[in-house]
Structures are given as C-alpha cells and as structure tokens.
Amino acid sequence: MELTRRRLLGLSGASLSGIALHGAGFSAGSAWAAPRFAGDPFAFGVASGDPLPDGVVLWTRLAPDPLALDGRGGMPERTVTVDWEVAEDERFTRGVRRGAEQATPELAHSVHAEVSGLDAGREYFYRFRAGADISPVGRTRTAPDDPARLRFAFASCQCWYEGFYTAYRHMAAEDLDLVLHLGDYLYEYGVGENGGVRGMALDASFQRETLSLVDYRNRHALTRLDTDLQAAHQAFPWVLSWDDHEVENNWAGDFAQLDTDGYPDQDPEAWRARKAAAFQAYYEHLPLRLPQRPRGAEARMYRKLAFGSLLDLHVLDTRSHRDDQVCGDGTKSGCDVERSAPGRQMLGDEQERWLLDGAGRSGAVWNVLANQTLIAQVDQNPDPAVHTSGLDMWDGYVDARDRLLRGLRDRNVENPVVVTGDIHRAVVADLTLDFADADAPVVATEFAGSSISSGKDGSPTDEVGAAWMAPGVNPHLKWHSSQRGYTVVEADSESMTASYRVTPVVTVPGSGISTVATFRVEAGRPGAQPA
C-alpha cells in the first residue's frame, strides 16, 4: 500500500472508542478527565522504534504550545490519559491492538507505548488520541522472523540551525524496514539570533548553550517541529543511540568538555546533573523502550536487535563508558604514546564483553555494529613524517580498537560491518589489525555516513578529504565525500550494499537527492568494493 508523505502528515482517521486501561506514571493525582488543549497537542507528530518480531514502541509527546519557555509544552501539571490504536490498514478498519498510557508532567507528557502481540514482518498503522484530539497516522513495521532481505537507512548529525532536513523528506519516500540514527540528534550550542539558516526569531533562551532540563527539552522541541523529520519518523521505526552533542561536545563518561562558559562542569555533581537533564530530555522525545529510560546520569543505551538468521544489530554507546580524551583532545600529532596506552576504554569493560561475546554467539549472516564515531585509523596529515590523529575518534583509543578488532577475529564473528556517524563526511574503509600494513587481512568493513545538515552545504571533497585520501596515506580508505545526506543499506544472504544518497544544498530547502556511490560486501569476504 502506497502511503505518501502528504497522507502521513494529514490523515487523522476516525475517533477511537474510549478505553480505560492503566499506564505507567508517577503523578499521584488522578488523570485529567476531559482534557481540552489551546493548540494541537500532537505538534511533534508520532514515531515508533526498536522493532521486535511481535511489536514496537510507539511514541508521541503532548505539547499544544511546543516552544513554551518553561519547557512544559503548554501542558498543565496534570496527568493525561492517551489512547493508542494499531491497525493493519491506514483507515483503521482492521484494528489489531488498543491501549492507553498515562502522559505525566514528570516526563513532559511523553508517551512510550510498548505494543506486543503483533505479527512478525508486518506493516502496521498507529495513532493516538488525547481528549477530542487525534494524532497524525504513523506507519511502522515489526521485525521479520527470518527475512530474505533487510533494507535500512542510517543517518546522524542534524544541526538544526546549519541546514534544512531535506534529506529526511527524501528518506521518507524510500522503501525501508527501519532507520538507524547514530547520534547528534540535536546540538547543545545556541542557535544564533535568527536560528541560523532557518531565519526564525526565537527567545533569548535559545541563544545560549543547553544546561538545564528546560533547555534540553526546548532544544528537542525545536528540532522535532521540523516536518521533514516528522515525516521520516512517521514512515518507519527508528533505532537510536546518542553521541556527544545530545549532552555536550566531546563529553567522555564522567568527563565534561573544559570550555563551557558560565557552568561549573568541573564540579562532578554539576556535570552529573547536566547529564541527567540531557538524558531525560532525550528519552522524553524519542521512541525508546523502558530499559533505555535513564536513572539520573546513568542509562543503558547499548542493546541488540535481531532480524532472524539474516542480521544481528548491535547498538553501541561510545560516550557513556569511555576514558577521557588524551593530550587535551582535538586533532593533533605527537600523541602516539598517550593514545596507544594499554587498557584505554571506548566501550567500557561491560559493554565490550557484551558486544564481543554476543557477536561471537550470533548465528546471523551479518553482524552490524551501530557505532558513533570512526573506528578506522585516519592519518590526517599527508606528510609521511607526521601522523595526525583525531583524538575523539577511535584513533584516540588505539588499544580499545585493537581489542575490538582482535575480538571480532578471534571469535570468528560472521561478516562484521560497522555503520558510523559523527564525522560529517562519508567514508568507506577496510578495518584491519594493522593499518600500517597495506596487505594486512581485513577483519570488517566500515560504512561511515555524512551528516544530515551539520557543516552546512557540503562538496564532493574538501581540504580535509584531500588529505585523508592522498596517495599512500590511508590505503584502507576506499572512498570519501563531504556532501550531506544519508546511506541506504540492503542485506541478503549473499551480500550487503551501501548506497550513499546526497543532497547538494542544505542551507535552503527543497534540494534534490542523488546516489553518488554504492559499495558492496560479499558474505564471507570482508572488505568493500564498488558495486
């Protein structure tokens, strides 16, 4: 059934019948019996996520005044019962599941309905009702039991004030089973006096860096109002993990960035309070399951989703458990001893064991690692006498990278493929145990995707890319682009292909989309080749 973006955004369907079911909430008071809203309570649209063979999590947040300066979205301090319905058709004539959740002020009136009892590998439609208001219709899909093919897109880095989300409008028209978001869903910096390229006048509170729960809520709210982003969320289930900008640039576990103005990040308690605020707002605005709900400044974002015998998806968190960056962070030379120190952690002991043991036991054809920042070694200086490394990437955690790649090899992990965000450029790389040896055996393939909008308009190459791809400097890098866009991956039992979609302009809306490169990995033969 074809479902266009216009229909996704505009179809509301018939009213739901009233259902009195309990939901999980914190407020002691009774639910608002007959809520009436001053504006559309579903201004942020709807979303689904983390598909399982028998269900998905459905999301929305009630916010009739979405940019209210107190971060409440125009909602009172009252609990609201939100009904949800799932059907086999977009007009809801063949309903299959119904229920209700309690949207509480403690979680910004967000709803996370974990629906089960659905059939595997099926397309479903869903919607919400609060009072007399009905949400837009979303489309989702459960994970198949044993698919012959899986098709997904991955994306990252969507700086709101640096570009329009045109790529998501094109993504919503794709034929996909799911979307992976690999981090930097929002940016903590002030958005500028006129919202950057958006040309939107905003309150002064949007001009400063996010520090409090109200700040993070309103920055998410600003991001979620984009209709192209809403269309992509309404079209497919998403699987997400965070990187740094959801909290603060280049944060590392218990360590904050050093240069935040006007905030005592060097006070451990203040830093944990800021993380807790950022984590809560992230959960409130995205289709995440209950195990991913934070407990203060702690959250377990790493998890595995299985897609039959075809593919296991290992979702990583490379921020929460890592050691601090060495040599003051940044991109530097002359830091080889420090970045190669034994025992340095990128994933942390527990997550590292979970990943390697789980991938080693996997019976799937493909093991995909949803990773935040580049694993491949990159010498960023074409001078053969100087090695320059990005210390926030896995290059700053050499022993952790070596343990990862050796662990994949030693456990005979089937067809490991890494998909990566963060770097605002697209890269295809072979991952080996010795990047200095051009003949070293390939352990895995890395597909790094460019940004949705961060960095403004891109180009096929730039000065950084020219340095990376200079002859003889990084022979394991197969291809590079600094244009904006997303990547579509298709896997079957014989091969996996990655098609890089780019949109040439993001500083004005309405740009087109094109495929600039496609690479293929054959099952049983690690390493990517042009397709």
The predicted-structure confidence for 116-132, as pLDDT tens digits, reads as follows: 999 999 999 999 999 99
CB atoms within 10 A of CB 270: 14
Please tell me which residue, 438 or 284, carries the higher pLDDT value. Answer: 284
Q: Tens digit of pLDDT for each residue in 20-37?
A: 223 333 344 566 778 899
Q: Tens digit of pLDDT for each residue in 392-423?
A: 999 999 999 999 999 999 999 999 999 999 99
Is it the case that residue 151 has pLDDT exceeding 70?
A: yes
446 DSSP β-pair partners: 418, 429
Of the chain, the percentage scoring pLDDT greater than 70 comes to 92
Q: Tens digit of pLDDT for each residue in 255-301?
A: 998 655 555 556 888 899 999 999 999 999 999 999 999 999 999 99
Q: Which of 9-18, 241-250, 357-366, 423-432 has the lowest mean pLDDT?
A: 9-18
Query: Residue 4 — pLDDT band, cuts 50, 70, 90?
Result: very low
Nearest C-alpha neighbor of 61 from the set 230, 294, 232, 279: 230
Q: What is the DSSP string of 128-167?
A: EEETTEEPPPEEEEPPPSS-SEEEEEEE----GGG---HH
DSSP state of 365: S
Query: Residue 306 — pLDDT band, cuts 50, 70, 90?
Result: very high
| Mean pLDDT, rounded, of the chain | 92
Residue that has been written with the tokens 């990773």 in this structure: 371
Give the pLDDT of residue 9: 36
Residue 196 tokens, joined: 């950057």
User: What mean pLDDT do residues 88-92 have?
Assistant: 96
Give the pLDDT of residue 494: 98
Is it the case that residue 163 has pLDDT exceeding 90?
A: yes
Q: Tens digit of pLDDT for each residue in 187-200?
A: 999 999 899 999 99
Radius of gyration, alpha carbons of the chain:
22
Q: What is the pTM of this model?
A: 0.93
429 DSSP β-pair partners: 446, 477
User: What mean pLDDT do residues 246-254 have?
Assistant: 95
Q: Tens digit of pLDDT for each residue in 51-74?
A: 999 999 999 999 999 999 999 999
Give the pLDDT of residue 314: 98
Conformational region of residue 493, where left means phi above 0, alpha means psi within -120 to 50, and beta covers everything else: alpha
Query: What is the CATH number that goes with domain 146-530?
Result: 3.60.21.70
Give the pLDDT of residue 24: 35
Q: Name, in order, each residue with C-beta under 8 angstroms of 336's C-beta and a sequence gap of 6 or more.
A: 387, 389
Query: Residue 308 — pLDDT band, cuts 50, 70, 90?
Result: very high
User: What mean pLDDT do residues 151-160 have?
Assistant: 98
3-state secondary structure of 321: coil
Give the pLDDT of residue 344: 98
Helices (H) and strands (E) in the chain, counts: 9, 24
Query: What residue ranges do the domains of the chain occupy?
Result: 146-530
Give the pLDDT of residue 415: 98
Give the pLDDT of residue 384: 87
Widest CA span in the chain: 72
Residue 432 and residue 402 in contact, taking contact as beta carbons nearer than 8 Å: no
Give the pLDDT of residue 91: 94
Query: Residue 13 — pLDDT band, cuts 50, 70, 90?
Result: very low
Q: Tens digit of pLDDT for each residue in 476-500?
A: 999 999 999 999 999 999 999 999 9
Angle 186-350-146 from CA coordinates, rounded to 5°: 75
